[in-house]
């Protein structure tokens, strides 16, 4: 297998501080960890009934941190006095803890009253306050792992034959006329596993038979073309390394869906004559079939990169929702391959649809608002043949 990791981010180290190190700092550390930061938490004390924190901050944690976030402004001078953190970036929030937590029922943090107070006031306030400072640095990009795998390529050739999506002018497999939609779903399941070749040979007689009948033919085809795939992969890496994948944070907000932080993208043979295509297998797996893969050029690589972005788009828009699949595909085309995220001057789809999606995205609106407008606009639906079931 040939694999590369692109834009692998170095996580920002964030230390969260409160009084006791049990509630506010812990919640904030967990919240920021979900957003891609590396976090720790602790307390600096004192409170009026206990001079020492229950989960005290450690000197090595302070030295480890790139940024320190305190729950109250009063914690900053304590940090300076105890740890000498004047060279650290410190963000001071102003979120007090519950009087009940720190007084009447302290340290019983798991009581019903305290949990209700946290959920209704403390935690929402922490999120609201810290959002003013996010991202703490440049947003962490999505990590893209470009891969080339022989066994995956064989399975994806079968998958594409079933879908009639790609053209194989110089490669004709025996027995593929018997493949059906059920086999397509089986192949999907296999490709999502970690033991591709062994699993499909041992557990599916039809696929096993096709593989054995075509093994020598496929080996020859693979050996002739794998270096071309590697060349394409290397050129796509260069484009990926110069592209700011943090834009997908905004895409995820638009679709109100948490997309993957890491994506495996497999490059496969399959398009000797047709335009480049791809498939997105949720939640973090996609496939790219470069156009004219046996004769790559700058133009084909540019187009293949646009398709790559299009497939990543699908992973950030929850394309598994079959009820809206056709409409979601139309909306995805407004972003990529030649839409908002690549080069909108080359977008050749429906301009009215594009302007609705673009304006909503730029104004911070949600996809659901675009969807409802399209569903109510019978003219647009009829003109574009968008079959969108409620």
> Which CATH superfamily, name and number, covers 7-131?
Response regulator (3.40.50.2300)
- 375 has pLDDT over 80: no
CATH code 3.40.50.2300 region(s) in the chain:
7-131
Q: What is this structure's pTM?
A: 0.63
- 136 has pLDDT over 90: no
Q: Six-digit token pair at 152?
A: 């995956």
The pLDDT of 133-144, averaged and rounded, is: 73
Strongest mean pLDDT among 44-48, 193-197, 261-265, 336-340: 261-265
Candidate from 3-12, 45-54, 68-77 with smallest mean pLDDT: 3-12
- 366 has pLDDT over 70: yes
- 387 has pLDDT over 50: no
- 232 has pLDDT over 90: yes
The pLDDT of 356-377, averaged and rounded, is: 80
The pLDDT of 166-186, averaged and rounded, is: 82
pLDDT bin (cut points 50, 70, 90) of residue 42 is very high
- Residue % of the chain over a pLDDT of 90: 25
Contacts of 126 (CB under 8 A, 6+ apart): 24, 27, 28, 31, 71, 93, 95
Which tens digit of pLDDT belongs to each residue from 256-273? 887 888 899 999 987 655
């Amino acid at each position: 297998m040939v694999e590369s990791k692109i834009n692998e981010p170095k996580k920002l180290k964030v230390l969260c501080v409160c009084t006791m190190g049990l509630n506010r700092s812990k919640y904030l550390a967990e919240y920021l960890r979900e957003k891609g930061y590396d976090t720790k938490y602790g307390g600096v004390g004192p409170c009026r009934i206990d001079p020492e924190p229950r989960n005290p901050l450690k000197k090595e944690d302070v030295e480890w941190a790139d940024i320190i976030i305190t729950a109250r402004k009063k914690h900053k001078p304590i940090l300076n006095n105890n740890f000498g953190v004047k060279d650290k970036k410190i963000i001071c929030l102003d979120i007090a803890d519950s009087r009940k937590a720190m007084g009447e029922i302290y340290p019983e943090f798991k009581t019903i009253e305290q949990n209700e107070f946290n959920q209704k006031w403390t935690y929402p306030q922490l999120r609201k306050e810290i959002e003013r400072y996010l991202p703490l640095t440049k947003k962490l990009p999505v990590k893209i792992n470009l891969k080339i795998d022989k066994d995956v390529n064989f399975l994806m050739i079968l998958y594409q034959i079933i879908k009639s999506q790609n053209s194989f002018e110089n490669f004709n497999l025996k027995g593929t006329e018997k493949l059906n939609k059920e086999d397509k779903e089986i192949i999907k399941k296999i490709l999502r596993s970690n033991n591709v070749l062994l699993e499909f040979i041992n557990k599916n007689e039809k696929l096993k038979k096709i593989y054995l009948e075509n093994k020598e033919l496929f080996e020859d085809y693979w050996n002739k073309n794998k270096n071309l795939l590697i060349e394409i992969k290397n050129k796509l890496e260069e484009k990926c390394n110069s592209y700011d994948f943090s834009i997908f944070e905004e895409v995820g907000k638009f679709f109100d869906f948490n997309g993957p932080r890491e994506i495996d993208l497999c490059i496969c043979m399959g398009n000797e004559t047709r335009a480049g295509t791809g498939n997105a297998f949720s939640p973090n797996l996609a496939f790219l079939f470069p156009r004219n893969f046996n004769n790559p050029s700058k133009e084909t690589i540019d187009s293949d990169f646009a398709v790559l972005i299009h497939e990543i788009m699908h992973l950030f828009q929850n394309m598994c929702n079959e009820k809206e699949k056709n409409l979601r595909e139309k909306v995805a085309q407004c972003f990529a391959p030649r839409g908002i995220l690549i080069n909108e001057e080359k977008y050749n789809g429906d301009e009215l649809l594009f302007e609705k999606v673009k304006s909503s995205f730029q104004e911070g609106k949600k996809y659901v608002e675009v969807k409802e407008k399209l569903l109510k606009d019978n003219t647009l639906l009829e003109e574009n043949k968008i079959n969108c079931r409620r």
